[in-house]
């Protein structure tokens, strides 16, 4: 096999390995298969390129345009998946591991693309939360907004997920409008390089939006400013070294960290052998031990079972693990491939020796196991190994030593409180799970363990068919954990995008806030429409454009008619005396839905026109009852416009109903789809 020269992509140029390059061995054969790194890389030029070319180009795009770009990248990578699969085998990963890394990474991009379109504006300023009332008369208001940082995101990734690890950071970064310099772990950087090449060659990204360092980053971190972000995944030791860089501390550079984690899984006290939960627990634990040969930041390292179930758990896990076929990951029959390198294997064996001082090995022998289709001595192969720690209270190392391979330790607990204490002794983890059919158990775990874990995964017979697995971080949910896990938080939908934006508290008048947010704020000037707004196309409508309707009196006949027609004969609308006894009503009142229906009758234009559909109604509040003899009128204002396709867009209307004394009786937001 010829040696792959893994290049960096710096300031628009592919730079081949040079002085200081490192050899990379195949996980399967142990032979050198690639080389990467070049100490002559001009890191300042890379930073300049990102800051002066990539950043401005990305910031010109709206959130929706960036979301479309991310979707196009995901589609493009999807079309080239096979090439990525083919090369990824060399990292020791099996085809099902590729599904996590490659398909999982692409899927994450799709979710961010979709969230960007649905949850972010088709503009450049993200509104974070609602308007804050800062004054009595509403002439001075507050609004938090997020705008993209003007610097560059440095993504330093671990070896275990060369594609997902990059894409899960890249998608939120690009959506924010910030360029990235990706530095994958050298051991598996040839896979990342291919994915970057595919994205660059697609021509979808603006120049400077994405650069790659294969090998070391030199003194890049010493050149960062408050506009840059470092997002790191890897070991706690490296994280500590990097985050204590004096320049990062002096400049207040954001540092998002995701590192070692002694994750745990709790078998609920109710989940006895023979129950669906017991079997599910065994399945989840063995899957987490063997997927990616246990090289997952979320893998279950500590297996917690009720004391009297420990033997059954060990027996069931051993049976399952004995069926795991270890071998060349290219073989279809292989269930577990190799660790990424012999260096990593040596590291895991060292950690296993440490664990062995406090726990007994009950399954798996690193000196005696079968490997199919590869040389056991040359490749970085290792069998799954299960330990039993009889005394988790006095043990220390089982709670702080992460053997980053197919290694877990079973521990018995006395009661649920004890299980929670043991789970929390990891001093902060990415995920803990509890397999239980008892909601009270789940609630106690959340209350007792929530503070120590970034994610709590609860599974049982009801959810097991559709559940996504203890070890899968989802783009919708936060991924990260306190303490030992790094204190970071990635993903979590738009939350993850905010790491790359600055939140700013904006204070000003309604008119000012409307203009900044491109969203009408009550109190801002209204503009009079040149024609009925329902006759105007999406592109013609302007924010603040307002229609004032005629007024309509509500009669007792209307109320009776509505009640009999709809069947809503609730006493407050029908029985004067009963309604009077109710503290909210002066006597019989009109139905809220009657008011909404009459409001529609007052503001619609009946003719066929650009309004295609009424798609919803948000934040409805009834503020004052309306009695027979009162009259209502409607104010309809264009609050926000969101392009959906080239053919139509969503218009959000602010609707206020007032009575004859100009008092508000109801308020809501109406959604319509309008043609362009
Ligand atoms: P490392 O911490 O060694 O490396 C992580 C990343 O940091 C790599 O890209 C590495 O690059 C880079 N790096 C290392 N030193 C520096 C430096 N001085 N300046 C800039 N970048 C640097 O972790 P590994 O990926 O090698 O994994 C080792 C251990 O980390 C595992 O055994 C496991 O315990 C833990 N880990 C934890 C994960 C988690 O999410 N919880 C995920 C993966 C690993 P390079 O490869 O070029 O050295």
Residue 259 Cβ contacting ligand 1 at under 6 Å = yes
pLDDT for residue 529: 83
Asked if residues 586 and 627 have their Cβ atoms less than 8 Å apart, the reply is yes
Task: Tell which one of 213, 238, 248, 351 to mutate to probe ligand 1, the residue whose CB is within 8 A of the most ligand atoms.
Answer: 238
Q: Which atom of ligand 1 is nearest to the CA of 260?
A: 41
562 Cβ contact list (under 8 Å, min separation 6):
568, 573, 590, 591, 593, 594, 597
Nearest CA to ligand 1 atom 29: 235
Do the beta carbons of residue 321 and residue 441 sit within 8 Å?
no
- Determine which residue's CA is closest to atom 40 belonging to ligand 1: 297
β-bridge partners, 669: 618, 654
CA of 484 to the centre of ligand 1 (A): 15
Q: What is the CA radius of gyration of the chain?
A: 30
* Residue pLDDT, tens place only, 535-583: 999 999 999 999 999 999 999 999 999 999 999 999 999 999 999 999 9
Packing angle of the helix pair 310-322, 276-290 (nearest 10 deg): 50
Are 111 and 48 in contact, with CB atoms under 8 Å apart? no
Q: Give the pLDDT mean for 148-165.
A: 98
Task: Determine how many CB atoms are found less than 10 A away from the CB of residue 542.
Answer: 13
Rounded to the nearest angstrom, the distance between the alpha carbon of 159 and the centre of ligand 1 is 7
Nearest ligand 1 atom to alpha carbon 22: 47
Buried b (16+ CB within 10 A) or exposed e, 428-440: bbbbbbbbbbbee
Q: Name the closest-CA residue to atom 14, ligand 1.
A: 238
Query: Which pLDDT does position 388 carry in this prediction?
Result: 98
Distant-in-sequence, close-in-space partners of 72: CB < 8 Å, separation ≥ 6: 202, 204
273 half-sphere exposure, CB direction, 13 A CA radius: 11
Q: Between 81-88 and 63-79, two packed helices, what is the crossing angle to 10 degrees?
A: 60
Short-list 538, 430, 433, 439, CA closest to 487: 430
How far away, in angstroms, is 213 Cα from ligand 1 center?
14
Atom of ligand 1 nearest to the CA of 215: 47
Question: What pLDDT, on the 0 to 100 scale, is given for residue 1?
Answer: 64
258 CA: nearest ligand 1 atom:
40
Distance 292 CA to ligand 1 centre (A): 16
Best mutation site among 46, 157, 158 for ligand 1, i.e. most ligand atoms within 8 A of its Cβ? 158
The mean per-residue pLDDT over the stretch 41-47 comes to 97
207-240 pLDDT tens trace: 999 999 999 999 999 999 999 999 999 999 999 9
pLDDT for 305-356, tens place per residue?
Answer: 999 999 999 999 999 999 999 999 999 999 999 999 999 999 999 999 999 9
Atom of ligand 1 nearest to the CA of 216: 47
Q: In this predicted structure, what is the pLDDT of residue 212?
A: 98
In tens, the pLDDT along 384-404 reads 999 999 999 999 999 999 999
The 3 state secondary structure assigned to 565-589 is HHCCCCHHHHCHHHHHHCCCCCCCC
Phi-psi region of 355 (alpha: psi -120 to 50; beta: other; left: phi over 0): alpha
* CA–CA distance, 95 with 636 (Å, rounded to integer): 56
Q: What is the mean pLDDT of the chain?
A: 96
**Is residue 401 in contact with ligand 1, taking CB distance under 6 Å?**
no
What per-residue confidence (pLDDT) applies to 33?
95
**Does residue 183 have its Cβ closer than 6 Å to ligand 1?**
yes
Per DSSP (E only), the strands in 172-277 are: 180-183, 210-212, 229-233, 254-258, 264-267
DSSP 3-state of 219: coil
Mean pLDDT throughout 640-658? 93
d(CA 560, CA 580): 17
Reported as a pLDDT band with limits 50, 70 and 90, residue 408 is: very high
Of 656, 576, 659, 667, give the one whose Cα is nearest residue 622.
667
DSSP 446: H
pLDDT at 142 over 80: yes
In sequence order, the β-bridge partners of residue 145 are 127, 504
Cα-based distances in Å from 642 to 209, 210, 220, 270: 26, 28, 40, 49
Distance, CA 185 to ligand 1 centroid (Å)?
Answer: 6
pLDDT confidence bin for 646, thresholds 50/70/90? confident
The model's pTM is 0.93
- What distance in angstroms lies between residue 156's CA and the mean position of ligand 1's atoms? 8
User: Is any ligand 1 atom within 6 A of the Cβ of residue 421?
Assistant: no
Whether 121 contacts 146, CB under 8 Å = no
Counting residues of the chain whose pLDDT is more than 70, the rounded percentage is 100
Tokens 């308020």 label which residue? Answer: 667
Confidence of residue 645 (pLDDT cuts 50, 70, 90): confident
- For residue range 109-139, list pLDDT tens digits in order: 999 999 999 999 999 999 999 999 999 999 9
Query: Token pair 């899960």 is at which residue?
Result: 168
- Ligand 1 lined by 161 (C-beta under 6 Å): no
- Arithmetic mean of pLDDT, 89-95: 97
The residues annotated as belonging to the active site are: 258, 297
Q: Compute, in angstroms, the gap from residue 261 CA to the centroid of ligand 1.
A: 13
pLDDT band at 643 (very low <50, low <70, confident <90, very high): confident
Cβ 404 under 6 angstroms from ligand 1 = yes
Question: How much distance in Å is there from the Cα of 173 to the middle of ligand 1?
Answer: 21
Q: For 465-511, write each residue's pLDDT tens digit.
A: 999 999 999 999 999 999 999 999 999 999 999 999 999 999 999 99
Q: Is 66 in the pocket of ligand 1 (CB under 6 A)?
A: no
């Amino acid at each position: 096999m010829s040696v792959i020269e893994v290049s960096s992509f710096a300031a628009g140029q592919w730079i081949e390995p040079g002085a200081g390059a490192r050899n990379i061995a195949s996980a399967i054969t142990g032979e050198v298969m690639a080389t990467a790194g070049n100490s002559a890389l001009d890191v300042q030029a890379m930073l300049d390129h990102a800051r002066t070319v990539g950043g401005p180009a990305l910031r010109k795009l709206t959130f929706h345009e960036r979301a479309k770009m991310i979707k196009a990248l995901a589609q493009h990578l999807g079309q080239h998946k096979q090439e990525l699969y083919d090369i990824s085998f060399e990292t020791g990963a099996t085809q099902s591991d590729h599904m996590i890394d490659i398909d999982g990474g692409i899927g994450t991009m799709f979710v961010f693309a979709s969230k960007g379109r649905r949850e972010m504006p088709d503009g450049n300023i993200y509104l974070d939360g609602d308007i804050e009332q800062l004054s009595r008369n509403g002439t001075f208001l507050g609004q938090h907004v997020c705008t993209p940082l003007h610097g560059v995101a440095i993504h330093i990734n671990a070896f275990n997920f060369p594609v997902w690890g990059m894409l899960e950071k890249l998608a939120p970064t690009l959506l924010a409008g910030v360029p990235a310099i990706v530095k994958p772990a050298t051991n598996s950087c040839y896979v990342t390089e291919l994915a970057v090449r595919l994205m660059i060659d697609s021509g979808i990204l603006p120049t400077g939006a994405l650069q790659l360092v294969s090998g070391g980053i030199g003194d890049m971190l010493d050149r960062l400013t408050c506009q840059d972000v470092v997002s790191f995944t890897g070991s706690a030791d490296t994280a500590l070294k990097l985050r204590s860089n004096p320049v990062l501390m002096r400049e207040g550079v954001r540092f998002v960290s995701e590192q070692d984690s002694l994750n745990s899984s709790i078998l609920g006290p109710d989940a006895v052998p023979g129950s669906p939960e017991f079997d599910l627990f065994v399945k989840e634990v063995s899957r987490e031990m063997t997927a990616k040969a246990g090289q997952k930041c979320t893998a279950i390292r500590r297996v917690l079972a009720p004391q009297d179930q420990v033997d059954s758990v060990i027996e069931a896990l051993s049976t399952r693990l004995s069926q795991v076929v270890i071998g060349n990951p290219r073989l279809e029959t292989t269930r577990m491939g190799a660790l990424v390198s012999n260096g990593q294997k040596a590291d895991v064996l060292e950690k296993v020796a440490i664990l062995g001082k406090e726990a007994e090995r009950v399954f798996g022998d690193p000196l005696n196991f079968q490997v199919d289709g590869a040389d056991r001595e040359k490749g970085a192969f290792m069998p799954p190994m299960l330990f039993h720690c009889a005394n988790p209270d006095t043990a220390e190392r089982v709670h702080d030593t992460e053997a980053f391979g197919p290694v877990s330790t079973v521990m018995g607990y006395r009661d649920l409180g004890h299980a929670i204490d043991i789970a929390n002794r990891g001093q902060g983890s990415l995920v803990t799970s509890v397999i239980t059919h008892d909601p009270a158990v789940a609630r106690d775990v959340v209350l007792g363990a929530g503070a120590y874990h970034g994610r709590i995964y609860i599974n049982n017979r009801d959810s097991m068919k559709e559940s996504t697995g203890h070890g899968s971080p989802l783009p919708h949910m936060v991924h990260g954990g306190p303490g030992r896990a790094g204190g970071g938080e990635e993903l979590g939908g738009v939350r993850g995008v905010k790491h790359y934006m600055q939140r700013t508290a904006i204070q000003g008048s309604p008119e000012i806030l409307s203009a900044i947010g491109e969203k009408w704020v009550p109190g801002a000037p209204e503009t009079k429409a040149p024609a009925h707004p329902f006759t105007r196309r999406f592109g013609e409508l302007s924010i603040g454009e307002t229609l004032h309707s005629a007024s309509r009196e509500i009669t007792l006949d209307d109320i009776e008619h509505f009640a009999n027609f709809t069947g809503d004969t609730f006493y407050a609308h029908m029985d004067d005396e009963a309604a009077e006894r109710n503290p909210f009503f002066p006597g019989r009142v009109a139905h809220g839905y009657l008011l909404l229906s009459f409001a529609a009758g007052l503001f619609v234009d009946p003719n066929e026109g650009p309004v295609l559909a009424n798609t919803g109604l948000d934040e409805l509040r009834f503020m004052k009852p309306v009695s027979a003899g009162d009259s209502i009128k409607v104010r309809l204002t264009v609050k926000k416009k969101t392009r959906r396709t080239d053919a139509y867009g969503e218009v959000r209307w602010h609707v206020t109903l007032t009575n004859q004394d100009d008092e508000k009786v109801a308020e809501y937001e109406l959604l319509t789809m309008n043609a362009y």
